[in-house]
């Protein structure tokens, strides 16, 4: 029979293994079951769902989208993460390269960065002119209103982290051989241009947060809590057959609608 000391040590180890990770996995499983219900409803009723993820480099967009899509039907689910535009695409109407990826009936499409590149990285890094930036801000609300008028349900999330957390995550990328593909010159400039990105984000919120297409901010310093609560918020904002409302209630301290007051009360990083 094991000694008392051995039992105590074993119990502590089990508790440590379960603390956080076990709870997170159980919560994630239950939420993914709800996501499957939602997707079945989207397919059954020929609905079109578009979810846009924006945020600073290292904010956790990839990981969040991965957990959402993990058990959805691959035939009716698409993740769009576009690279640098070609010369031909640069000559097109700005929204043209994105429009081709919009959801058809029964589909859920996730944009891992979207047309809002023009409000953020393109503007900050000088990849577009001041005039192009202004035209974008002036026209994107009308573009999104047209999408909604065409029967697309549009959700927009901005994943927010503080400067110390971004620095830690970008350094971890550099050291992890499995994440080397995530590194880019833009990533390397992220910390240097922290204040520029903050100003660009604030202008984006002010000009593109609308009644028909509001922004929701996600406090993403804790990756796991961010993932769970983004899923809860999606479930909460979309009706579907068999919804368990208890599962679909996000923590409003983690996911919340944008409001200009949050730029002053420190709920959004500066």
Q: What is the DSSP string of 52-83?
A: EEEESTTSSHHHHHHHHHTTS-GGGEEEE---
DSSP 3-state helix, strand, coil percentages of the chain (rounded to 5)? 55, 15, 35
Q: In the chain, what are the domains?
A: 4-263 (3.40.50.300)
- pTM of the full structure: 0.90
**Residue 105 near residue 46, CB atoms below 8 Å:** yes
Q: Are strands 215-219 and 152-160 parallel, antiparallel or unpaired?
A: parallel
pLDDT digits (tens, 9 = 90+) for 196-248: 999 999 999 999 999 999 999 999 999 999 999 999 999 999 999 999 998 99
Distance CA 20, CA 16 (A): 8
Torsions phi, psi for 112 (to 5 deg): -90, 90
- In the chain, DSSP assigns E strands to 48-55, 77-80, 108-112, 152-160, 215-219, 255-257
Give the pLDDT mean for 180-189.
73
Cβ atoms of 76 and 42 within 8 Å: the answer is yes
**Beta-bridge mates of residue 155:** 51
Find out whether 184 and 170 touch, Cβ atoms under 8 Å.
no
Residues 108-124: tens digit of each pLDDT? 999 999 999 999 999 99
CB 255 within 8 A of CB 230: yes
Token readout for 117 is 């590149």
Tell me: pLDDT of 7 over 70.
no
Question: 154-163, 176-185, 192-201, 251-260: which range is least confident on average?
Answer: 176-185
Q: Of the given ranges (10-19, 133-142, 175-184, 253-262), which has the lowest mean pLDDT?
A: 10-19
Nearest Cα neighbor of 65 from 240, 234, 265, 263 is: 234
What's the pLDDT band for 252 if we cut at 50, 70, 90?
Answer: very high
> Quick one: average pLDDT of 56-61?
96
| pLDDT band (50, 70, 90) for residue 185 | confident
Give pLDDT, residue 8: 39
pLDDT at 266 over 50: yes
Q: Which of 60-74, 113-127, 179-193, 235-249 has the lowest mean pLDDT?
A: 179-193
Instruction: Please report the pLDDT score of residue 19 as a whole number.
Output: 55
CA dist., res. 121 & res. 82, Å (int): 13
């Amino acid at each position: 029979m094991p000694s008392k000391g051995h039992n105590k040590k074993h119990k502590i180890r089990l508790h440590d293994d379960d603390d956080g990770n076990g709870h997170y996995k159980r919560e994630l499983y239950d939420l993914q079951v709800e996501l499957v219900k939602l997707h079945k409803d989207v397919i059954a009723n020929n609905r079109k769902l578009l979810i846009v993820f924006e945020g600073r480099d290292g904010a956790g967009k990839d990981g969040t989208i991965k957990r959402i899509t993990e058990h959805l039907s691959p035939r009716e689910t698409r993740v769009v993460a576009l690279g640098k535009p070609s010369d031909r695409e640069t000559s097109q109407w700005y929204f043209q390269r994105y429009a081709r990826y919009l959801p058809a009936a029964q589909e859920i499409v996730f944009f891992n960065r979207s047309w809002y590149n023009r409000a953020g990285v393109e503007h900050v890094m000088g990849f577009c002119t001041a005039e192009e930036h202004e035209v974008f801000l002036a026209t994107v609300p009308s573009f999104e209103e047209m999408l909604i008028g065409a029967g697309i349900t549009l959700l927009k999330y901005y994943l927010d982290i503080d400067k110390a957390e971004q620095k830690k995550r970008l350094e971890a990328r550099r050291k992890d051989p499995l994440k080397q593909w995530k590194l880019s010159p833009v990533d390397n400039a992220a910390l240097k241009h922290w204040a520029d990105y903050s100003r660009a984000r604030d202008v984006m919120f002010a000009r593109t947060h609308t009644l028909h297409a509001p922004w929701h901010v996600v406090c993403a310093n804790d990756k796991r809590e961010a993932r769970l609560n983004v899923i809860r918020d999606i479930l909460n904002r979309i009706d579907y057959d068999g919804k368990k409302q208890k599962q679909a209630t996000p923590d409003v301290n983690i996911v919340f609608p944008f409001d200009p007051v949050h730029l002053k009360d420190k709920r959004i990083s500066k």
